[in-house]
Amino acid sequence: MITAPVSAERPLHDCRDAWAATLVDLARHDPRIVAVVNDSVGSSKLVGFQDEFPERLINVGIAEQDMVGVGAGLANGGKIPFVSAAACFLTARALEQIKVDAAYSQYNIKLIGQSPGMAYGELGPTHHSIEDLAWLRAIPGLTVVVPADPRETEQAIRWAAAHTGPVFVRVSRMPVPDVMPAGYEFEPGRAVLLRDGTDVTIAATGTVVSRAVEAAELAAAEGISVRLLAVPTIKPFDTEAIVRAARETRGIVTMEEATVVGGLGGAVAETVVRHQPAPVRTLGVPDEFAPTGSASWLLDHYGVSASGALEACRELLGRA
C-alpha cells in the first residue's frame, strides 16, 4: 500500500473556528439568532458568543432531549436557534426530538453536530458519531450538510441561518486543509466537481475530501483519470451528478468519515441502483465498533485514505 501524507505541506484548520466566528457575525446582524448548548460552550467554541451575547446563549446543561425541544420552542417563538452539541450525543440521544420536534414539526432550527465522525477517536466508539449521516438522511424534510473545510463551514452556517427549516450541519474538529476553490459558493443539493475525469469517480464528503484530492493526484500519476465530486449535502442529494458519474465513468468510490451503512455510500448506491447501475466501492468505517486511535489513524486504518481510495479505483478498473 502506498501511504500518502495528508497534505502535510498545507496548513490545517479546525472548522469550529469558522463556525464560531460566523455565528458571532450573524448574531451581530440578526437579534433572532440564539445558541442552545448542553454544557458544550467550550467544545462548541462559543465562549466568544457567550461573552458578547450572554442572554442569547441558552445552556440547558447535560440534557440533549431538552436541548432540542427547547430549540424547537425557541423557533416557535420566532428565534433562529443554533443547537450545538457533540454530534454523537446530539444525534443519538435526541434522535426522536430531531425527527419529531425539528423535522416533522418543520421548525426553523439549526442542529450543529460538533466534533463528528471520529474526531473523538481515542475516546472510543461511544464518542464516535459515525451513524449520524445514515440516521438523519432517513428523516424527511431535514437538510444534512457536511462541510469539507472552513470556507464551506462558514458558507453552510450562513446558508442555514438564511434558510427557513431544519438543518443539520456537521462541524469538523479533525484538522483539515482548505479544499474548496476560492469563490466557491455552497448550494444545498449540489455536488461540487473538484476535478473532471473519465475513468472513475470519487465522491467524498466532509473531512475526507482532502484525502480524495490526494487520491486523484496519485491516480493521475499512474494514468488513471479521476472525476472528483465533493458532496457537501447528503440530503437533499445531487442525484443528477451521481447518475452522470455512473454513466460517464466506470464506477464510483465513496469516501466518508462515517459508517459504510447508509451514509454517503448508501445514498450513492441507492441512486445508481435506481437510475444507472454501476459498480460502487464504499469507503468508511465497516459495520463494527472502531478500535481506539486518532481520527486520522482510524481513517487510514480503514482505508478512507488516498491510498485506500486509489486501490478502490484500481479495483473498479480491473487493475488491482
Nearest to 150 by CA among 122, 132, 173, 167: 173
- Check if 257 is active-site: no
Instruction: Kindly state the cell numbers that stand for 65.
Output: 432531549
Alpha carbons 309 and 266: distance in angstroms, whole number = 17
Residue 152 CB burial class (10 angstroms; 0-12, 13-18, ≥19):
buried
Which H or E run includes 254? strand 252-259
Stretch binding other proteins (CB under 8 A), from 55-63, 131-139, 151-159, 275-283: 55-63
Stretch binding other proteins (CB under 8 A), from 53-61, 203-211, 222-230, 295-303: 53-61
Q: Which of residues 67-96 bind other proteins (CB under 8 A)?
A: 67-79, 81, 96
- Look at residue 294 and give its three-state secondary structure: coil
Between 76 and 198, CB nearer to other proteins = 76
Stretch binding other proteins (CB under 8 A), from 40-48, 100-108, 164-172, 295-303: 100-108
- Which of 64, 131, 257, 311 is labelled catalytic? 64
Q: CB 98 → other proteins: shortest distance, Å? A: 11
User: 135, 192 in Cβ contact below 8 A?
Assistant: no
Q: CB 156 → other proteins: shortest distance, Å? A: 24
b/e burial code for range 17-45 (CB count within 10 A of at least 16 → b): ebbbbbbbebbeeeebbbbbbbebbebbb
Stretch binding other proteins (CB under 8 A), from 101-109, 184-192, 238-246, 283-291: 101-109
Given 12, 21, 58, 243, the residue binding other proteins (CB under 8 A): 58
Cα distances (Å, whole numbers) of residue 295 to 23, 93, 173, 180, 209? 26, 22, 10, 21, 14
Q: CB 73 → other proteins: shortest distance, Å? A: 2
Neighbours of 55 (CB within 10 A): 7
Per CB under 8 A, 61 contacts other proteins: yes
Between 110 and 173, CB nearer to other proteins = 110
Residue numbers at the binding site for other proteins (CB under 8 A): 34, 55-56, 58, 60-61, 63, 65-79, 81, 96-97, 100-101, 104-106
Catalytic positions: 64
